[in-house]
Structure 1
Amino acid sequence: MCGSSSAKWRSFDVRILRVPTDFRVVEQFDESMLTRSGEYLVYSVSTKGMTTGEAADRLAQAAGVDPEAVASAAQKPKEGVAGQVFSILGGEPLSLRGGEFVARRLGVSDRAVEPGDITGNAYEIVVRDLRGDDMRRLRHNLAQVKQAGLPNYFDDQRFGCLRHGQGYILRDVLRGRYEQALKSALAAPSPYGAEPVERYKAQIREQWGDWATLVGVSNGRRGKSAFEYLREHEGDFEGALRFGLSSRERTMHLFAYQSHLFNRALAAKVRAVAEGENLGWLPCDEGSLPVWRELPASESMRWAESELILPGPGMEENEEAMRLYGPVFEAEGVSMEAFCALDLPGFRPISETRPLLMQPEYLRAAPAQDDEHYPRSKKMRVRFTLPRGQYATLALKRLLMPTELGAKRLCMWVSRHPLVWPTDDGTPQYFERRPREERSRSGGERGPGGGRPREYQGGGREGGSRGGGGRRPWGRERRDDRKPPRDRRPQGKPRSPWEGRD
């Protein structure tokens, strides 16, 4: 079951990313970067179950160029179906068609594609394992989000270091704990790691300090350069971080910690306008995220016009940033001045501004359908568009949030990762995973009963009813599965990328 510091409760499950086609994202491309002539070929590429890096490698191989010649505007996760834009410097013209990889030429340009060439992303997400109250809750929250939006936090994708057990490497660096930072980066156990990788990391932990042995163990594997450096420079873990982690990996850890600081500052600002029954909470690996349920129109407009700078050089000139970040850095036990003064490759923060309000456009939910993967449950397709840099999973969490205080807890499965809703006071809740060897013997994390986790059986919705007594699973709740009101979009407003596909 799920761990809790409060009274016992039962959890209701909903799921996204059950299969790759449950999550579709298409980049909205600004074609003004295309030119009549140029040495860069620009492609629209559709992939399924493939990272952006893997797609770039496949394009490079097909075009006969080095991987460095392929550029993309943004990174997309491996899970799901993605439509992205790539540019290739030189090489053979391509037209690739396959079951999971399609590349179509858009034109040419005199430069590589950049993040600014993408104005946003259009999403189509299937939410599964829904019952009557889940659909009522989703439609209720959808109306609130249309009216008031939600705080523009960074979401779980930004915090892979937490999901994989590493923690905030940069926080250890700022506290002078260089050895701990290196060990966590190279050897922290992950519940999601492949078994060969986890065995290798266990070897590193067992042999830690015996650098000569680790050089041999790590031959051709991640960490060898760090162990070679420590063999020659005993105790210089700060130097080992420079040589043992790539600049790209250090940058990912910088972004994670910088995003954590931003989220905590934004959370404090949200708590100032939302309290009591108007205050809700969203789950996140980084910590519980407070949100409002409703906002007056004037307050919503003020939030729509507001931005907050990410912590970094120059933030001392921003009065609101200093007021919001001061308590955050104090709670973290690190110096704001030391963070802003970081000057290591990959560890150089940049003070960009970020809007404080997320306002999904073209937001709608299609009528529910029978869920082929979970008997006696329903599925719904949710569609919306977001500006670049905002998180669709955050919008999904807000749409599924409990609508009243004291509600039974909800667990949202994102692929195989469970996220449990916080308590009414924001206390984080966690799913208690069984040991790897126990899961292997019993066939994995999920047990019988419509694919629900074994830990949840016997409580909540198991058996196809909510209260026992032989009640039919679809009685009066079916009223919540009504077709949404027709779109009353003002005449002349641009059409959604998903228009007409219900």
Structure 2
Amino acid sequence: MKLKQRPEDFIVEELTTVRPEGKGPFALYRLEKVGMGTPEAVQAVCRKWKLRLRDVSYGGLKDRHAWTTQFLTIFRGPRRHMKQSSLHLQYLGQLNEAFGPGQVSGNRFQVTLRDLSSTAIEACLSGFQEAARFGVPNYFDDQRFGSVGPNRQFIARRLIEGDYERALKLALAEPYESDSAARKEEKRLLREIWGNWASLSQKLRKGESSKVVAHLQDYPGDYRGAFALLRPDLKSLYLAAFQSYLWNKMLARWLEEQCRPDQLLTLKLQLGSVPAYRRITNEQYQQFTRVTLPLPSARLHLAADDPLRPIIDAVMREEDLELSQMKIKHLREPFFSKGDRAALFTPTEAKVQIAEDERHEDRQKVTLKFTLPRGCYATLLIKRVMAR
């Protein structure tokens, strides 16, 4: 099975009930982009219109390897369109408040799976029908963990420990396969002469890393202050990655308690395999749809008799942490989110199309169309659909 062979194979349309009000300080736009992530697209818009990044607000991150549409607002933004090679920004009108995650009602997907045999087609259809009927465990998928490098170290874990230097070095110098050639060279320099701030300040291109290095050159040893200079959206992603990793472990334990062994199957995620289910009963499904699990943080206070407490305590023990430690000391931001996440999601408006695959001789393709609630991962649904 091949996924995302071209951007048109993965189409995402963000859904909202927000409509322009004709007045207000926030300009509303529809952003259509191809082959670039949301942060990169927003930065491109800011460069073109000479905007401050903090004046741009959006509801969520959309995949780089896809054709996506989403909404954003710009405080006192230009009332005009913008078109570049990989993005189109369409001005829609004015709002009285910034657009954010709370204004996203869901996402509509069209996903094409290629290079399939007849047997794989049958398995795909069966898996998709099961998912539409009984839902899918609502794990955070691999995109959530983009800040976790090959050595699987979490930046947030280092922050919890108060090791700001290690956190900063992971954020600036950890290598990733997706790094551009220029970024790889910059990270190599940072790793090789880390601490020689004078030399680094002469060799690095102007950007976020050079700004941090300049601070350390002026204030040697102030790694906490240097970390604070990183982009707010990136700092939030670092914390979200670790919190989501813990939440996934909580959901995995809960599922193993709720399902019989013969009902379980395995999904492979970047940070390890997790259990999913098949052939659950209607009673189990109805029960599962009512369950939410809290995001772990120091602000989470559980009653002694809370049925989820043993699961959460066990996960935290595995990480040699307590809930009270899930906070970042001596930094005004970022902070771990507080809230609950549904244990499963169920795709709606599910449709299937089968056709000959024009890119692979004597093979077929399947196009799946469906809508998911906000914050749920279509890639996780595909993993469940294709799981054996």
CA-CA distance at 1:128 after TM superposition: 1.2
3-state DSSP of counterpart to 2:147:
helix
CA-CA distance at 1:95 after TM superposition: 4.7
Deviations 1:383-415 (A, max 9, x none): 11011111110001000101xxxxxxxxxxxxx
3-state DSSP of counterpart to 2:171:
helix
Deviations 1:79-111 (A, max 9, x none): 211121233444553255677544445443222
3-state DSSP of counterpart to 1:161:
coil
Deviations 1:421-450 (A, max 9, x none): xxxxxxxxxxxxxxxxxxxxxxxxxxxxxx
Cα distance change, pair 330–167 in 1 and its aligned pair in 2 (3 A): same
3-state DSSP of counterpart to 2:13:
strand
2:88 matches 1:108? no
2:181 matches 1:181? no
Cα distance change, pair 364–257 in 1 and its aligned pair in 2 (3 A): same
Contact 1:365 1:380 survives alignment (8 Å) = yes
Contact 1:171 1:334 survives alignment (8 Å) = no
Aligned-residue sequence identity (percent) comes to: 26
3-state DSSP of counterpart to 2:123:
helix
Matching of residues 364-379 of structure 1 within 5 Å: 364-367=351-354, 369-379=355-365
Please name the residue that 2:273 is paired with.
Answer: 288
Compare 307-316 and 157-166 and name the one that shifted more: 157-166
CA-CA distance at 1:73 after TM superposition: 2.3
**Paired AA for residue 330 in structure 1:** R
CA-CA distance at 1:138 after TM superposition: 0.6
Distance 2:295 2:57 in 1: 26
2:121 matches 1:157? no
2:235 matches 1:250? yes
Contact 2:11 2:111 survives alignment (8 Å) = yes
Kindly tell me the number of residue pairs found equivalent between the two proteins: 386
Cα distance change, pair 193–336 in 1 and its aligned pair in 2 (3 A): same
Please name the residue that 1:347 is paired with.
Answer: 334
Q: TM-score of the superposition, structure 2-length normalised? A: 0.89
Deviations 1:188-239 (A, max 9, x none): 2222212221122122222123333223223524433443444455555444
Q: CA RMSD for the aligned pairs? A: 2.7
Cα distance change, pair 105–211 in 1 and its aligned pair in 2 (3 A): closer
Cα distance change, pair 349–92 in 1 and its aligned pair in 2 (3 A): closer
Distance 1:87 1:205 in 2: 38
Q: TM-score of the superposition, structure 1-length normalised? A: 0.70
Matching of residues 118-157 of structure 1 within 5 Å: 118-157=104-143
3-state DSSP of counterpart to 1:366:
strand
Distance 1:164 1:74 in 2: 25
Matching of residues 4-403 of structure 1 within 5 Å: 14-31=1-18, 33-56=19-42, 68-95=54-81, 100-163=86-149, 167-218=153-204, 220-231=206-217, 234-243=220-229, 245-318=230-303, 319-340=306-327, 342=329, 344-367=331-354, 369-402=355-388
Compare 76-85 and 93-102 and name the one that shifted more: 93-102
Unaligned stretches of 5+ in structure 1? Answer: 1-13, 403-502
3-state DSSP of counterpart to 1:288:
strand
CA-CA distance at 1:316 after TM superposition: 1.9
Distance 2:52 2:135 in 1: 43
Q: Which has the larger radius of gyration?
A: 1
Cα distance change, pair 260–240 in 1 and its aligned pair in 2 (3 A): same
**Paired AA for residue 328 in structure 1:** V
3-state DSSP of counterpart to 2:121:
helix
Distance 1:52 1:305 in 2: 32
Compare 297-306 and 79-88 and name the one that shifted more: 79-88
**Paired AA for residue 138 in structure 2:** N
Distance 2:223 2:45 in 1: 38
3-state DSSP of counterpart to 2:366:
strand
